[in-house]
Amino acid sequence: MTVGRLTTKSKFYIDLDYWEQNGRNFREEVYDALCETCKKMYSLEEARLVDHVDPETGQVKRMDALLDCASAECGHAPEFLNPKMPLTRAIFRAFIAAGNEPQSAEEIYARIKKGSPNIILKELLSQQMEADGITAV
């Protein structure tokens, strides 16, 4: 539980437990966002963990193969986050592109170049984002 006022520097992430508790399938959302190359490499039905290496820290952690491919491959493609997509979808995809690592509104803005950090914070706190399991750290 977050205590205090949330700012554009507050970190958020997609709460996967929330998705499970509400009968939603996060893997389906990730799969739908994947590029064709990743869709050919992995199937939605085959839940597989892979070693994900953080490019900045070198830290290795186990990650769902779909999310790993989305963050390593698709997240860098211009069509994955395009200026015409709705802001809420762009924010959601920013989390996917970052492997669902906690991010602030400022970090998301730097990735999607849409809106502003204040507008993104407002969206992160909206009912739509809450329905998608977006949670403050």
Cα torsion 61, 66, 68, 72 to 10°: value is 170
| DSSP-derived secondary structure letter, 97 | H
| pLDDT score at 4 | 67
Q: Nearest to residue 104, comparing CAs of 96, 94, 114?
A: 94
Calculate ∠ Cα 131-41-45, nearest 5°: 50
Spell out the domain ranges in the chain. Answer: 11-136
pLDDT by position in tens, the chain (length 137): 455 689 999 999 999 999 999 999 999 999 999 999 999 999 888 878 999 888 778 889 899 999 999 998 998 888 898 888 999 999 999 999 999 999 999 999 999 999 999 999 999 999 888 888 899 99
pTM: 0.89
Q: What is the pLDDT of residue 1?
A: 45
